[in-house]
Structure 1
Amino acid sequence: MKDPGDAEPSRQATRHRPPGPPRQRTSRDGTARPPSAGTGQEPPGGGRAAARKAARAGDRGRKRRRARPPSRRKRVLRIVLGVISALVLITAGGGAYLYEHLSGNIKSVAIGGGGKEKADSFGRTPINVLVIGSDGRNSKDDCKLGGGCGSSDSTAGHNADVEMVVHISADRSNATAMSIPRDTMTRIPACQGTNGAPSTPGYEGQINSALQYGPACQVKTVRQLTGITIDHFVMLDFAGVVKMSDAVGGVSVCVSDNVYDTYSHLKLSKGQHTLKGDAALEFVRTRHGLGDGSDLSRTYAQHIFLSAMIRKLKSAGTLSDPTKVYALADTATKAMTVDTGLGSIAKLIGLADDLNKVPPKRITFTTMQTGTSPTNANRVIPAPSASALFAAIANDKPLTSPDGKKTSAGEKTGASKSPASGGSGSSPSPSATVAPSDVTVSVDNGTSTSGRAAAVGAALTAKGFGHGTYGNASTPQAKTELAYGPGQKAQAQTVADALGLPSSRLSSTGTPGVVLTIGADWTSGTSFPGGSGSGGAKADTHAAVSGAHVEHADDSTSCAKVSKYKTVEINGVPMTPSQAYAASPNKKDSAP
């Protein structure tokens, strides 16, 4: 399925009881009931007839108790046990054949070291996974969905049209899924191609293009951009989305109005729909039909879809049925490519179990805050405020409170600007009074870690700052410092906001220019490390969600907002998606 908008640069691009005698039970009114048959004990008072009568009364009490609906905690426990039981059935009761069959479905690729997650005080570590949605058409099923057909052994020529950093907290109490818009401009690092993909010396480009040099390159690019340690990746192709939505019996979503996206071919009437097959793919790929018609709108639709799928997966009817679980496992393992650290059924079950521990109300979907690229009005760069979101994830900070409420003070903050604006609708940090494009930053490496100046400098360039000189400091530096010349304090503050650098690290000099000297207190990542005792800027969870379009997986009331702009066209005539719906009565709806 080819989205014409992908080829139009003028358009807005943009989850035992101990041994011993049986205990005496009591009836509903608190009186003693006889022990169970077979215990060798004679019930006192009344002989066998009385015992039978008491037993019948006990049976009625048990029936009354069974009629009570289970508590929420018991329902959750039943779901978890259902999942485990089903997987045990698949891997044990089903025999070695089923286990080997599922294991044989999995394709894995090594991604190289990216550092280790920092353990909490109890020795627990968080998990970070990059979820990649590839636009590659590698199979007959993919080819039927449109576009060119490629090789299943390589990602050469493929793009990462979906990128989500999924963070599962160390204590497994919460999770965050942060989308990175595919049209983000950044520095692609030097990458050694694997599995038939070419190598690259590095370049400035669109972030989704890194997949052309292999999944490891895509992971490396996101690590460099965000400063987040990423241990794993999971990549799905087009057909995988279709098959997984079918395996769970369809995913229920809502649209705010009639919509027809003539590019993704999504056509739905206003209201709720259960999406299966191609309709599911059309929904997660629609861009022109929703919001402001930008790529940011596509990320919002994906959050709604994935939230609905999580709710469906956590329903007892789906996960307590071994047949459904096996069908889903078979479908998923055929559709995905993972890193070698997840390349077995046991490891995938472990990851799924970790995520299943998180209640939907504490699974937060966000989109990286963006601003307009200074070199291309139809592309975006991370906004200065994105550094707070990156820091919150890197420092394992939840974006919801324990009761599931948002940590921010207010409402969802989705994009609402016209496509003509070229931006995402997010606002810069209040303290930033100078645009990044008006600031040129030179970076010196005062650490013993090679490449630090280039890495941080590339991150600044990706955020829209001008490229100064990169090199080594004349002497080793213990602390990171940002120096600025006469009249350049506001420029330095803009840089500090983008990096999460506290104001205490700024100093004035008599020499013109803004120079960042990286010290031994900052040896990895591209956001200044936070935490008490380090002097760094702590991860601010309130700032992290500002402008990040927050959705929670338990929100079943959220409707995808249909675009009010003329983002589509029929026979060359621009119109809104609702107008296109009205103008196409003979075009069959994607779902009833």
Structure 2
Amino acid sequence: MCTSRRAHPKPRSRRRTILKVTAWTLSVLVLLAAGTAAYLYQSLMGHIATISLPASVHKAPPAKPDAQGHTPLNILLLGSQTRDGQHGVNLGNASKLGTDISDTTMLVHIDAQRRWAVVASIPRDLMAPRPQCQSRTDPKVTVPGSDQAMFDEAMNLGGPLCAVATVEQLTGLRIDHFVEITFNAFQDLTTAVGGVTVCVPPPGINDPNYSGLVLGPGLHTIQGAQALEFVRDRHGIGTGTDLGRIQMQQAFVSSLFAKVTSNGTLDDPVTLYQVAKAVTSNITVDTGLDSLPALVGLAQDVRGLHSHHIQFVTAPYEFDPADVNRVIPGQGFDQLWTDLRHDQPLPGSPAAADFGTSARPVSTSPAAPASPSASASPPAPATPATPGPSISAESRSGDQNICSDLPTPVPYGGQP
């Protein structure tokens, strides 16, 4: 009897020991997980470069909220050509060390309800007014404004802030955020997602002397250095101008967006971290996007979009009679920005069919400043009017194939 009484406490003691060990193990795992999360957070955020976007930079008023209190979102994407700290720097011409220019400028407009978006490319060779800006290398130095200057000079002389001011003065759209993307981003991001499928239209890309890219017509999966070659190449396509490169860049961005937002790509924690690292290591943003919650919020806004409702377009242009190597705003240039200021999708686009209105706002242009250094404020929204006759221009939704799908005609003039 006594022996049996002594035998019972041992299992209870053993169970207590197991419970204690389990509790301590779980506690340690929780602490380790929390520590790892904190480390990963600091690691990711420590890579992001930021520049303050003060109110004095803005040349356009904030967008008005809709009936539900929501406002559209305008983000300026700038492709940085600096060679500082970049690998694969033998690709085409770029800025010298310590300077910065941009061959790629895309204005991303996301509607107030986050249902559709327009990605509008602005040609680097566009001749347009540039406001007075602070020098990007010395904030104490003022760069005089100009009535007519190459668009990409804004980035070269005044950095992202001057680019924001120039775009706002040109379009009348308030830029909420900017994202400057380096060479490395194209390489690292495509590698992180296992490559991006792009379609090369006939006759293919043949540029052994500049970018080194040689691709036959058809579908190709590219990543790493080859992805950078693809977005940088212009000599191997069409007439060898920046205008042909714009269409290839739009196709690349469309394919990359589809890959990143596709089911399964970001479900793997390792892939998710690699994507986050590729992004945060290769961008400069305004201080409104310098936190992980802000970036996650932006990602959620974008991830909710369907590629069918993302429209890519080039701002309408005409060749400059004074210089065949430059372009000027073409017919429909002002109408494009008027539509976006009124938060209207491109006419003829899938988003217009699903979410648009039957009337279009009357085309207006931002008021010209009194001098190149003055701020320009766009006029009050005009009374909507019925659409005019359609003038052919090219626009593609994010799910259209650049090789086989016909572009969507939209009533904007100028070159496609």
Specify the alignment match of 1:337 in structure 2: 284
- Measure, in 1, the Cα distance between the counterparts of 2:111 and 2:135: 31
Q: Are residues 1:215 and 2:160 paired? A: yes
- Measure, in 1, the Cα distance between the counterparts of 2:282 and 2:170: 27
Query: What are the superposed Cα offsets for residues 457-490 of structure 1, whole Å, 9 maximum, x if unpaired?
Result: 999xxxxxxxxxxxxxxxxxxxxxxxxxxxxxxx
Gap regions ≥5 residues in structure 1: 1-90, 408-442, 446-450, 460-522, 562-592
Specify the alignment match of 2:45 in structure 1: 103
Offset at residue 145 of structure 1 (A): 4.8
Offset at residue 352 of structure 1 (A): 1.0
1:134 to 1:140, Cα distance in 2 relative to 1, 3 A: closer
1:92 to 1:125, Cα distance in 2 relative to 1, 3 A: farther
Query: What are the superposed Cα offsets for residues 85-112 of structure 1, whole Å, 9 maximum, x if unpaired?
Result: xxxxxx9684211111111111111222
1:387 to 1:93, Cα distance in 2 relative to 1, 3 A: farther
Which of 188, 206, 222 lines up with 2:130 in the alignment? 188
Offset at residue 383 of structure 1 (A): 0.7
1:195 to 1:282, Cα distance in 2 relative to 1, 3 A: same
Specify the alignment match of 1:68 in structure 2: none
Specify the alignment match of 1:395 in structure 2: 342
Query: What are the superposed Cα offsets for residues 291-338 of structure 1, whole Å, 9 maximum, x if unpaired?
Result: 343221111101111111111112123121111111010011010001
- Measure, in 1, the Cα distance between the counterparts of 2:243 and 2:65: 33
Q: Are residues 1:128 and 2:128 paired? A: no
Letter in 2 for 1:217: C
Say if 1:189 and 1:202, in contact at 8 Å, map to a contact too.
yes
- Measure, in 2, the Cα distance between the counterparts of 1:402 and 1:95: 39
**SS of equivalent residue, structure 1 residue 302:** helix
Say if 2:126 and 2:150, in contact at 8 Å, map to a contact too.
yes
**SS of equivalent residue, structure 1 residue 274:** strand
1:179 to 1:323, Cα distance in 2 relative to 1, 3 A: same
- Measure, in 1, the Cα distance between the counterparts of 2:95 and 2:85: 7
Say if 1:391 and 1:539, in contact at 8 Å, map to a contact too.
no
Q: Are residues 1:227 and 2:172 paired? A: yes
Specify the alignment match of 2:414 in structure 1: none
Offset at residue 230 of structure 1 (A): 0.9
Q: Which moved more, 1:363-372 or 1:251-260?
A: 251-260
Which of 285, 299, 316 lines up with 2:263 in the alignment? 316
The TM-score, its normalising length taken from structure 1, stands at 0.55
Specify the alignment match of 2:4 in structure 1: none
Offset at residue 265 of structure 1 (A): 2.2
Specify the alignment match of 1:524 in structure 2: 377
Specify the alignment match of 2:403 in structure 1: 558
Say if 2:179 and 2:284, in contact at 8 Å, map to a contact too.
yes
- Alignment: residue pair count: 356
Query: What are the superposed Cα offsets for residues 521-565 of structure 1, whole Å, 9 maximum, x if unpaired?
Result: xx822xx54343xxxx6595986xx5542111112463699xxxx
Specify the alignment match of 1:453 in structure 2: 370
1:92 to 1:217, Cα distance in 2 relative to 1, 3 A: farther
Say if 2:109 and 2:117, in contact at 8 Å, map to a contact too.
yes
- Measure, in 1, the Cα distance between the counterparts of 2:62 and 2:95: 37
Write the mapping of 1:23-62 to structure 2, written as runs, cut at 5 A.
Answer: none
Identity of aligned residues (%): 37
Letter in 2 for 1:179: S
Letter in 1 for 2:396: E
Specify the alignment match of 1:201 in structure 2: 144
Specify the alignment match of 2:85 in structure 1: 139
Say if 1:301 and 1:560, in contact at 8 Å, map to a contact too.
no
Offset at residue 239 of structure 1 (A): 1.6
- Measure, in 2, the Cα distance between the counterparts of 1:293 and 1:539: 39
Cα RMSD, aligned residues only:
3.2
Say if 1:250 and 1:275, in contact at 8 Å, map to a contact too.
yes
1:402 to 1:325, Cα distance in 2 relative to 1, 3 A: same
Say if 1:388 and 1:540, in contact at 8 Å, map to a contact too.
no
Which of 301, 312, 320 lines up with 1:373 in the alignment? 320
Offset at residue 267 of structure 1 (A): 0.4
Write the mapping of 1:191-340 to structure 2, written as runs, cut at 5 A.
Answer: 191-194=133-136, 196=138, 199-203=142-146, 204-212=148-156, 213-255=158-200, 256-261=202-207, 262-340=209-287
Specify the alignment match of 1:159 in structure 2: 101
Gap regions ≥5 residues in structure 2: 1-32, 357-365, 407-416
